[in-house]
């Protein structure tokens, strides 16, 4: 495909179509010039490819492998896990004809209550960058593009569609942009997804400093920049700023504005051509026919367990673990039978199969005995979908009350209590001093039950290390008073995120960044430096084989790491080469704008704000009824994965609708909720009946799409 020749032959209407997506997950084809459509699909820890006729929600997707989420894989401190996982997901993408995977997500975990933390790697930008780059390399080794997200500073969910991340340039560059920079320079991803939020009062989708000055000119990115789904604001300003593709597209208003701007000269043709050129190159490189040869689903299922076992963190152990299999075990907790293995939201996968802990125990002949006869209690607890999901931030850092009560009841028996945790985020552990062991599986993927059993019974040795700090209590977290409270997130703590903050201020934590125990012991020699290379020896001084992570901190920051696996008595050498420090000297000042008024309602108002007026309340309830009806359908279904998925989908839909704006709903829904409807509802919510009716009766017209010609 001769990109420049095609670009010269394209009409301005075809160019306006090319920079807009279509059918929710595709680029617009240009049949006249033999430009095919490119297919995208959600990641980042597995493939969510919608079936033909699917609802573009989180149900009705093709079976795929649900791998451990980023909260788990980051704790493995092993880039090879991410590379293997990326290769497997890339292979599944090719099988289903998906050309670009929407992942990995590498945003910094600024606050433990962020509802999407399960999809992100770490509080540390270097660790997040290294692991994200490895996944990109794995996916793209299969001829499938990766799309790194969410660029940038998408660190909370409550107001993500209209939130304003207010931070100094120093904070932006030297903390939140760092993982993206590392991935761009080391892995050359095919695409980047800009976030919904604003950075210092400029939306990411039209932020020229972010998309052009930093991403392209400073870092040398030469791929496609697309929006998150519904993140478009001023489409013309976006093109001028360096935004290539609007997703999901099918918005007549955006195409009309682009055409009008080209006609009146406010959008230079060279800017439109630059966006088209990037998209054409992307399509040329990745839009290949599907490889329908069989996928080794069983091998991918085994790989999911292998990765989960390598990433689990043994947080506490008094010697009770590993179990010998001869103990009299009493098993308690709902997550034993219904293990939570993935997060809730747009990344939810239809797994090829699921192996729960109960399944794995049955295969081993492990049975629960009554509590009175038992000597050891296993409690399976954690965060459920009601407490942790994309679309909203958690209300607190506590486990569900029922889980805490169960653990306390088991402690009161005086027996040994082992807690196995599932969940994608940090929680408070008020029971920590009173239990014998805590094994954290995070969200371990569809074969997490097998991995859990292997670790509990010593078939494998825990070798994960925490990729984020576990504070004693939420009140110790910087910015806890204001996080998620308004659409304005002020990053007053600067770059003092996670361990940097706790160390600088001398605040004790429950478990530090990098913490993790083992069933064996290791002896570390001192670091030896030769230029930028640091080496040390590590000896396994225990009786079991195991993995250890060498972590190199310079001036209080993680600058390198390496994981090594050693047999009992074996000594190995680790080597870490530190890249030159390239922190950018830039202003560290904050300029905090006032919060905008909540009334009158605008197309940017949070959807829940519509309840301020009587007409708005009617609209709000009617829209939310869609989610409520889906929940009712779910409750009528027989127990099983289908019911669980439908229920999770209803919860997610409710959270997304509440946090949306009229603008983001229109930008997400395309033809089913066009822009004049958004304006009409805005006027109605403000009590302007005639203006509302006029807007509803004034559709915005755009030329037919090339595929319709």
Q: What values do phi and psi take at 606, rounded to 5? A: -60, 140
Give a three-class secondary structure readout of 244-260. Answer: CEECCCCCHHHHHHHHH
- Residues 689-705, buried b or exposed e (16+ Cβ, 10 A)? eeebeebbeeeeebbeb
Q: Which two tokens stand for residue 380?
A: 């399976």
Alpha-carbon distance 697 to 686, whole Å? 18
Q: Please report the DSSP string for 135-184 in residue order.
A: HHHHHHTTT-EEEEEEETT---STTTTT-EEE--HHHIIIIISHHHHHHH
**In whole angstroms, how far apart are CA 441 and each of 253, 362, 525, 650?**
46, 19, 30, 26
3-state secondary structure of 204: helix
**Residues 507, 511, 513: CA angle, nearest 5 degrees:** 85
Check if the beta carbon of residue 339 is closer than 8 Å to that of residue 422. yes
Q: In what order do the strands lie in the sheet with 191-194?
A: 40-42, 100-102, 145-151, 191-194, 224-227
Q: What values do phi and psi take at 138, rounded to 5? A: -65, -45
3-state secondary structure of 432: helix
Give a three-class secondary structure readout of 171-201. Answer: HHHHHHCHHHHHHHHHHCCCEEEECCCEECC
For the purposes of burial, counting CB atoms within 10 Å of the CB of 273, is it exposed (0-12), middle (13-18) or buried (19 or more)?
middle
Alpha-carbon distance 278 to 574, whole Å? 41
* Residue 395 CA to its chain's centroid (Å): 19
Alpha-carbon distance 685 to 677, whole Å? 12
Check if the beta carbon of residue 49 is closer than 8 Å to that of residue 102. no
Q: What values do phi and psi take at 194, rounded to 5? A: -80, 150
Whether 42 is catalytic is: no
Angle between helices 641-659 and 614-636 (to 10 degrees): 170
Alpha-carbon distance 150 to 154, whole Å? 6
Residue 30's contacts (CB-CB under 8 Å, 6 or more residues apart) are 6, 10, 14, 17, 18, 706
Give the active site residue among 124, 228, 244, 310. 228
197 in the Ramachandran plot: left (φ > 0), alpha (ψ -120 to 50) or beta? Answer: beta
User: Could you list the active site residues?
Assistant: 228
């Amino acid at each position: 495909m001769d990109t420049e020749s095609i670009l010269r032959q394209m009409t301005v209407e075809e160019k306006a179509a090319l920079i807009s997506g279509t059918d929710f997950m595709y680029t617009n084809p240009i049949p006249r010039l033999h430009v095919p459509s490119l297919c995208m699909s959600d990641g980042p820890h597995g493939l969510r490819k919608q079936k033909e006729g699917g609802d573009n929600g989180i149900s009705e997707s093709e079976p795929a492998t649900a791998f451990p989420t980023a909260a788990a894989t980051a704790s493995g401190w092993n880039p090879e896990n991410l590379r293997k996982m990326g290769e497997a997901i890339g292979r599944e993408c090719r099988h289903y004809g998906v050309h670009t995977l929407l992942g990995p997500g590498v945003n910094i975990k600024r606050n433990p209550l962020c509802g999407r933390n399960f999809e992100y790697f770490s509080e540390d930008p270097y660790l997040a960058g290294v692991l994200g780059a490895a996944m990109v390399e794995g996916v793209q080794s299969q001829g499938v593009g990766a799309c790194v997200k969410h660029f940038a500073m998408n660190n909370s969910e409550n107001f993500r569609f209209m939130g304003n991340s207010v931070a100094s340039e120093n904070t932006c560059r030297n903390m939140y942009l760092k993982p993206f920079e590392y991935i761009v320079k080391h892995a050359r991803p095919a695409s980047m997804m800009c976030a919904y939020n604003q950075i210092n009062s400029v939306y990411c989708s039209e932020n020229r400093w972010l998309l052009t000055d930093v991403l392209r000119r400073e870092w040398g990115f030469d791929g496609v920049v697309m929006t998150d789904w519904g993140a478009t604001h001023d489409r013309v300003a976006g093109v001028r700023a360096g935004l290539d593709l609007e997703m999901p597209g099918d918005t007549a208003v955006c195409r009309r504005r682009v055409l009008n701007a080209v006609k009146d000269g406010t959008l230079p043709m060279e800017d439109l051509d630059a966006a088209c050129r990037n998209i054409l190159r992307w399509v040329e490189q990745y839009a290949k026919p599907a490889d329908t040869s069989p996928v080794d689903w069983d091998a991918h299922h085994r790989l999911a367990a292998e990765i989960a076992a390598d990433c689990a963190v043994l947080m506490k152990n008094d010697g009770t673990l590993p179990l010998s299999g001869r103990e009299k075990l009493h098993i308690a907790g709902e997550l034993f039978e219904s293990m939570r293995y993935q997060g809730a939201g747009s990344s939810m996968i239809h797994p090829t199969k699921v192996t729960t802990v109960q399944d794995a125990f049955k295969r081993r002949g492990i049975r629960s005995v009554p509590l009175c006869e038992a000597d050891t209690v296993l409690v399976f607890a954690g965060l459920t979908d009601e407490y942790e999901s994309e679309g909203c931030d958690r209300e607190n850092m506590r486990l569900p009350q029922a889980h805490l009560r169960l653990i306390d009841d088991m402690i009161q028996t005086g027996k040994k209590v082992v807690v196995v945790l599932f969940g994608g985020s940090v929680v408070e552990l008020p029971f920590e001093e009173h239990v014998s062991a805590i094994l954290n599986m995070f969200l371990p993927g569809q074969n997490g039950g097998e991995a859990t059993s292997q670790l509990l019974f010593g078939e494998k040795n825990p070798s994960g290390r925490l990729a984020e700090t576990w504070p004693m209590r939420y009140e110790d977290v910087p910015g806890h008073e204001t996080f998620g409270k308004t659409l304005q997130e002020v990053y007053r703590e600067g770059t003092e995120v996670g361990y940097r903050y706790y160390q600088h201020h001398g605040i004790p934590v429950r478990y530090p960044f990098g913490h993790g125990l083992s069933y064996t012991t290791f002896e570390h020699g001192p670091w030896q430096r030769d230029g930028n290379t640091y080496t040390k020896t590590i000896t396994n001084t225990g009786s079991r084989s195991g993995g250890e992570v060498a972590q190199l901190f310079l001036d209080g920051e993680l600058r390198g790491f390496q994981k090594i696996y050693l047999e009992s008595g074996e000594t190995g050498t680790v080597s870490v080469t530190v890249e030159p420090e390239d922190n950018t000297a830039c202003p560290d000042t904050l300029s905090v704008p006032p919060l905008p008024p909540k009334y009158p309602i605008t197309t940017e108002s949070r959807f829940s704000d519509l309840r301020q007026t009587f007409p708005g309340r009617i609209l709000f309830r009617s829209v939310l009824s869609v989610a409520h009806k889906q929940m009712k359908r779910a409750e009528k279904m027989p127990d099983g994965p289908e019911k669980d998925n439908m229920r999770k989908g209803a919860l997610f839909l409710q959270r997304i609708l509440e946090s949306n704006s009229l603008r983001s709903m229109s930008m997400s829904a395309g033809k089913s909720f066009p822009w004049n409807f958004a304006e009409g509802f805005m006027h109605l919510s403000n009590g302007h009946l005639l203006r509302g009716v006029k807007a509803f009766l004034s559709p915005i017209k755009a030329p037919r799409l090339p595929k319709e010609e």
